Structure 1
Amino acid sequence: MKFGKSTKFGAGIIMSLGLILAGCGNADKTASQSDSKGDDKPAATETVKLPKVNIMVGGLEKIIYLPAKLTENLGYFKEEGLEVELTSQASGVNAEQALIAGEVQGVVGFYDHTIDMQAKGKELQAVALFATNPGARLMVTNKAKDQFKTLADLKGKNIGITSPGASSHFLVNYLVSKGGNSTKDYVPLAVGAGPTLIAAMEQGKVDIAWATQPTIALLEQKGIATSFVDLETKEGSQQTLGGTYAAPSLYMNSDYVKKNPEVVQRLANAFVKTLRYMSTHKAEEIADKLPKEFYAGDKELYIKSLESSLSMFTADGKMPDGGPEKVLEILQVFKPELKDTKIDLNKTFTNEFVDKVKK
């Protein structure tokens, strides 16, 4: 069949029109694919980058705060899609001040700071509890141990604490008060922890001081000091304090918790994984996951001190019933003003996030 020029021209138009329509179809398809990809973005970026979290620890090398570095080294922060920077401070009170100043978003320190700061008009909240006793001992130098028979003998003494306003200061105040004296009847001296504490005892600046592991083990190994008050074991702590004392925790500004529930949930996930790991692994296995400098040159001694501390840690990060009440009761012994201040303990902690951690 033959076509004239006009027929060929018409066929050309039809072909061109077909190509244009096909192009439009492809363009629509591409646009629709692009749209669907766009719709998928939130799901794919459930990996939306979360804000960096700076956490200050009241002594990274202290076994009472071991979950902080262990969580990092086990890779649990990364598993949760978190960028976490850990920094160390010799005392929990310095970390607390950094939190209030907005320099960090979280603190690994003692829960009692949340109660103390609420009385001062600052709202802090523990979102995961690591241990149910202080994990510490009041250590007395061997040369002076005969001077200390009961808590009443703390009167008139220089007693080493990490720093003024720290949890060590709170609890030493309580022990002095329990011995029938007032907080004016002794001199609290800031000696820090670890090497500075050991040096203070060796140099005779203090005959008795607050210590945690692994410093306790080092003092005993070197023949410098002996345990006078046991707040490390569950039995010793309950005997001295009369119950469960909620202690090492992750606490944050209450406003931050409200505004960043996703971040807080992922932090809770990471820390609870670590607590579960600690409850199902031996001290040797846990020590292998930590920096060698934590051993202070003696890994065997570190493992021994870790073994003596493991029972203090929770396996679920939950605040136990009666824990906050016991802490408040002890704080009120030497802080009478707390009796006249309305403290809402429910605002000082939450189990909301640890309760949601998958089994």
Structure 2
Amino acid sequence: MKTKLQRRSVQASAVLLTIAVAAGVSGCQDSRAASVDSASTPEVNIIVGGLEKVIYMPAKLAEGLGLFEKEGVKVNLLGEQSGATAENSLLTGNAQGVEGFYDHTIDLQAKGQCITSVVQLANIPGEAEVVSTSKAGTITTAADFEGRNLGITSLGSSTDFLTQALAGQAGVKSYTPAKVGAGQTFIAAMDNNGIDAGMTTDPTIAQLVETGKGKVMIDMRTEEGTRKALGGLYPAASVYMSCDFVQKNPQTVQKVVNAFVGALRFINSHSAAEIAAKMPKEYANAGQALYEKSINDTKTMFNKDGKMDADGARNVLSILDKYSTNVKGKGSSIDLSKTYTTAFADKVPAEK
């Protein structure tokens, strides 16, 4: 009989196979996108690992503020609930960029792919481990994950990586990762006892706490909480693209980065209410006040300049090398200089 960890290994292998197939067809797709810079108005598809998640709000905010249009680039924002699914779209050439966690660039390099973060939106995850209120008395630290059902968006997602890290640091030998997505599917899984605890973001966190269904156990929405949980910064939300696309289309990439940094500046200089007013109305489906609270609880995670913290990048590699199924043991072969660049953020015009 397979143990939980063995079953997990089989599941992870299936994900790797999917990525390998995607990578195999990526060559011809990339060549079609190589001349984007030559268009009068370049067009770029960016997959977002959850458009409604507050940690990824710079994309829709940039759109709402008209920043892409101002830069002269047409950006199509396409939503996915998982970063793992989003990266497949990038590898197959169906998208030119992903707004997702930086750790995917390291994970993909371990699989032979060159992906780089062109603008770093945050140096902390903006995630929290939320425990079901009914289990809060028995699950108080990561050490209590042993034998539990833990919610993640999907296998191979950043919530999966972070859960592996928290469990590994606590010496947990076995738990069951449960693919429950985000938002209402995550809440339903907790309502139905499908998960005992799980890794999620705002506005889901705010909804669970407000309704009394969940309690925040490990909070990585602040620098202090992130350092306590992970021993340092953990650069997370970013926009990453294939190295080939970046090299062939620097003008288009610069336009995209300019727009995202513009959104970061708006976040850092405006109130949660002012930010919420620029976001799609349907994102406040649990009420405007709660949505504004979720933005306020998370907004301090965002960078002001779109640049990577180098020590943070090294910490991400160190954590993945110890606890990630895909990266473990390969850390010494990872070239961090290929996983991110500050070249474009360095060239963003100063605020007027």
Structure 1 residue 339 corresponds to structure 2 residue 329: yes
User: How big is each residue's C-alpha offset from its partner over 1:45-79, in whole Å with a ceiling of 9 and x where there is no partner?
Assistant: x9951331000000000000000000001000000
Structure 1 residue 310 corresponds to structure 2 residue 299: yes
**Aligned CA distance change for structure 1 residues 212 and 81 (closer, same or farther; 3 Å):** same
Secondary structure in structure 2 of the residue aligned to 1:181? coil
Match of 2:77 among 70, 76, 86: 86
User: How big is each residue's C-alpha offset from its partner over 1:266-305, in whole Å with a ceiling of 9 and x where there is no partner?
Assistant: 0111111111111111111000001111112301011111
- State how far apart, in whole Å, the 2-side matches of 1:335 and 1:53 are: 31
The answer for the alignment partner of 1:162 in structure 2 is 153
User: How big is each residue's C-alpha offset from its partner over 1:311-348, in whole Å with a ceiling of 9 and x where there is no partner?
Assistant: 10000000013121010011112137543450000000
The answer for the alignment partner of 2:311 in structure 1 is 322
Deviant stretches of 4+, over 2 Å: 335-341
User: How big is each residue's C-alpha offset from its partner over 1:246-274, in whole Å with a ceiling of 9 and x where there is no partner?
Assistant: 00000000000000000000011111111
Secondary structure in structure 1 of the residue aligned to 2:241? strand
- State how far apart, in whole Å, the 1-side matches of 2:313 and 2:192 are: 38
Q: Which runs of 5+ in 1 are unaligned?
A: 1-45
Secondary structure in structure 2 of the residue aligned to 1:322? helix
Match of 1:275 among 264, 267, 287: 264
Q: Confirm or deny: 8 A CA contact 2:161 2:324 kept in the other structure.
A: no
Structure 1 residue 289 corresponds to structure 2 residue 278: yes
The answer for the alignment partner of 2:9 in structure 1 is none
The answer for the alignment partner of 1:353 in structure 2 is 344
- State how far apart, in whole Å, the 2-side matches of 1:162 and 1:127 are: 24
Secondary structure in structure 2 of the residue aligned to 1:148? coil
Q: Confirm or deny: 8 A CA contact 2:164 2:324 kept in the other structure.
A: no
Match of 2:140 among 125, 139, 149: 149
The answer for the alignment partner of 2:251 in structure 1 is 262
AA at the equivalent of 1:282: S
Structure 1 residue 56 corresponds to structure 2 residue 47: yes
- State how far apart, in whole Å, the 2-side matches of 1:178 and 1:61 are: 31
Using the size of structure 2 for normalisation, the TM-score is 0.87
AA at the equivalent of 2:236: A
Secondary structure in structure 1 of the residue aligned to 2:137? helix
Match of 2:97 among 89, 95, 106: 106
- State how far apart, in whole Å, the 2-side matches of 1:160 and 1:77 are: 35
Q: Confirm or deny: 8 A CA contact 1:56 1:89 kept in the other structure.
A: yes
Q: Confirm or deny: 8 A CA contact 1:117 1:123 kept in the other structure.
A: yes
Structure 1 residue 249 corresponds to structure 2 residue 238: yes
AA at the equivalent of 2:329: K
- State how far apart, in whole Å, the 1-side matches of 2:268 and 2:122 are: 12
Structure 1 residue 212 corresponds to structure 2 residue 212: no
Q: Confirm or deny: 8 A CA contact 1:125 1:253 kept in the other structure.
A: yes
Secondary structure in structure 2 of the residue aligned to 1:78? helix
Structure 1 residue 120 corresponds to structure 2 residue 143: no
- State how far apart, in whole Å, the 2-side matches of 1:149 and 1:93 are: 29
Q: Confirm or deny: 8 A CA contact 2:47 2:79 kept in the other structure.
A: yes
AA at the equivalent of 1:353: F
AA at the equivalent of 1:51: P
User: How big is each residue's C-alpha offset from its partner over 1:152-183, in whole Å with a ceiling of 9 and x where there is no partner?
Assistant: 1101001000000000000000011111123x
**Aligned CA distance change for structure 1 residues 281 and 162 (closer, same or farther; 3 Å):** same
- State how far apart, in whole Å, the 1-side matches of 2:116 and 2:225 are: 27
Q: Confirm or deny: 8 A CA contact 2:109 2:334 kept in the other structure.
A: yes
Q: Confirm or deny: 8 A CA contact 1:119 1:338 kept in the other structure.
A: no
The answer for the alignment partner of 2:5 in structure 1 is none
Q: Percent identity?
A: 46
AA at the equivalent of 2:260: F
Using the size of structure 1 for normalisation, the TM-score is 0.85
Secondary structure in structure 2 of the residue aligned to 1:146? coil
